[in-house]
């Protein structure tokens, strides 16, 4: 069977869908939909696979050992939330118009970090499309979308997602998300996605019903059990996350990722999982250029060094925590390509809540120890965090352009 991805539901013909699931804990696995049951065949390595007579829009669950049924671990959509049935999605039904989009590079970007649920009163991707044109005069060039993996409840930051392949139903359908990215590209904006690969949320996470090896109990982070990237049966777990990154790049045309709290991703494998994910994401992008950011409180310079130098080959490394926001515009002004290309500049960080009066990205010269400005949040993060509304933050295009000009003059010493 020729599949695009190793896991999940894929339409292979008219009214025919192929399913593949990693479930080493299970003896028997079946797809249940509309009072019909389709048993899956056991494969090597703890996988189950098979076809069902169903197509796009079909709701289904996976029944374990003739007993309880659960959502698909790699469900593409959860229309009723994480506790409800999964939904078969046809990724080719959407007609993209961005064939000439060549992607983004880090140099000279102004980045706006957005929470889709509060970006507009409606809090949907479709509503956000109508607002995108307002950004054209602001100078913003790259949109960073906060996590969208589905989670329970009506509201959330997105950092406790449990369905990593399913864009949350709170903001619309998968095709609504595609339409947002497509329109952003048409207007000249890049779109990157904030992804959480350090833990799963506590509510609606059914992975333990299929395998005991997704998590490792010997390591904890501040949100719970860490993910098993280097222990027993870690191969399919690594595959799950690498596939997830490929999926967002290929099926939704995202222009890169911001990796959340990588200091809590424990992996002693020969290739660090975030490096492997980044490599797969770039391959998935093909001719498009993508950018990869990593939040890392330990300031591990390995993450931004080239792979041939023993590094993970990411673009920049963030430092700092974010606590409360409405629509959070951390607008960042990136430095020049020539400066980035100089390998001696390897330490790059951002401090949103710094005791110092300034809060910048910086590059550190390994030979002299001198630091130089790299990017700057605009406006200060705490101003946005505690604003009563988006409008009260006064983020007009004119104010942003004015701040940009002042900031650039300050940095040039004029």
CATH classification at residue 34? 2.60.40.10
* Count of domains observed in the chain: 2
- Answer whether residue 98 is part of any domain: no
Q: Give the whole-number percent of the chain exceeding pLDDT 90.
A: 61
Tell me what pLDDT residue 398 has: 63
- The model's confidence at residue 126, banded by pLDDT at 50, 70 and 90, is very high
- Same domain? For 80 and 115 the reply is no
Owner of token pair 């118009």: 97
Tell me what pLDDT residue 139 has: 84
- Same domain? For 192 and 160 the reply is yes
Residue where one domain finishes, among candidates 49, 72, 87: 87
Q: Catalytic residue among 295, 312, 313, 346, which?
A: 295
Q: Which domain holds residue 361?
A: 110-412
- Same domain? For 279 and 330 the reply is yes
- Answer whether residue 131 is part of any domain: yes
* Cα distance between residue 253 and residue 357, in whole Å: 38
- Same domain? For 55 and 146 the reply is no
- Answer whether residue 97 is part of any domain: no
- Same domain? For 54 and 138 the reply is no
CATH classification at residue 120? 3.20.20.80
- Same domain? For 144 and 57 the reply is no
Task: Report pTM.
Answer: 0.81
- Same domain? For 114 and 71 the reply is no
User: For the chain, what is the mean pLDDT?
Assistant: 81
Tell me what pLDDT residue 406 has: 57
Taking only the tens place, the pLDDT of each residue in 234-287 is: 999 999 999 999 999 999 999 999 999 888 899 999 999 999 999 999 999 999
Q: Find the range with the poorest average confidence among 11-20, 303-312, 398-407.
A: 398-407
- Answer whether residue 105 is part of any domain: no
Taking only the tens place, the pLDDT of each residue in 91-123 is: 999 999 999 999 999 888 888 889 999 999 999
- Answer whether residue 215 is part of any domain: yes
Q: Catalytic residue among 113, 176, 260, 313, which?
A: 260
The answer to whether 267 is a known catalytic residue is no
- Same domain? For 408 and 280 the reply is yes
- Same domain? For 343 and 259 the reply is yes
- Same domain? For 114 and 81 the reply is no
Instruction: Decide if pLDDT at 331 tops 50.
Output: no
- Answer whether residue 1 is part of any domain: no
The answer to whether 90 is a known catalytic residue is no
- Answer whether residue 93 is part of any domain: no
């Amino acid at each position: 069977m020729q599949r695009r991805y190793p896991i999940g539901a894929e339409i292979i013909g008219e009214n025919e869908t192929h399913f593949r699931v990693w479930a080493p804990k299970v003896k028997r696995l079946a797809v249940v939909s509309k009072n019909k049951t389709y048993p899956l065949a056991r494969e090597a390595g703890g996988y189950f696979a098979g076809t069902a007579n169903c197509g796009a829009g079909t709701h289904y669950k996976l029944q374990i050992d003739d007993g309880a049924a659960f959502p698909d671990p790699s469900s593409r959509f959860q229309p009723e939330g994480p506790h409800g049935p999964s939904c078969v999605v046809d990724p080719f039904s959407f007609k993209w118009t961005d064939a000439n989009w060549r992607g983004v590079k880090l140099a000279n970007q102004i980045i706006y970090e957005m929470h889709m649920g509060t970006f507009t009163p409606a809090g949907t991707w479709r509503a956000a499309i109508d607002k995108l044109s307002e950004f054209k005069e602001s100078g913003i060039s790259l949109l960073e979308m906060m996590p969208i993996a589905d989670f329970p409840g009506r509201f959330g930051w997105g950092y406790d997602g449990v369905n990593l392949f399913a864009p949350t139903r709170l903001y619309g359908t998968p095709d609504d998300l595609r339409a947002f990215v497509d329109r952003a590209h048409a207007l000249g904006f890049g779109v990157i996605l904030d992804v959480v690969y350090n833990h799963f949320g506590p509510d609606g996470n059914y992975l333990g019903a299929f395998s005991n090896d997704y998590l490792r109990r010997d390591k904890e982070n501040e949100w719970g059990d860490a993910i098993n990237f280097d222990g027993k049966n870690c191969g399919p777990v690594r595959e799950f996350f690498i596939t997830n990154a490929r999926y967002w790049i290929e099926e939704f045309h995202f222009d890169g990722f911001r990796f959340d709290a990588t200091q809590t991703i424990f992996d002693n494998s020969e290739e660090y999982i975030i490096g492997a994910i980044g490599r797969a994401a770039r391959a998935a992008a093909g001719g498009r250029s993508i950018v990869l950011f990593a939040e890392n409180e330990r300031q591990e310079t390995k993450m931004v060094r080239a792979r041939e130098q023993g590094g993970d080959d990411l673009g920049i490394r963030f430092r700092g925590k974010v606590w409360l926001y409405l629509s959070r515009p951390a607008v960042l002004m990136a430095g020049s390509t020539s400066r980035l290309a100089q390998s001696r500049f390897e330490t790059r960080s951002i401090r949103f809540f710094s005791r110092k009066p300034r809060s910048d990205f910086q590059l550190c010269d390994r030979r002299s120890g001198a630091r130089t400005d790299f990017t700057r949040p605009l406006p200060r993060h705490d101003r946005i965090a505690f604003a009563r509304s988006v409008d009260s933050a006064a983020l007009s295009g004119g104010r942003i352009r004015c701040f940009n000009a002042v900031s650039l003059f300050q940095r040039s010493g004029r």
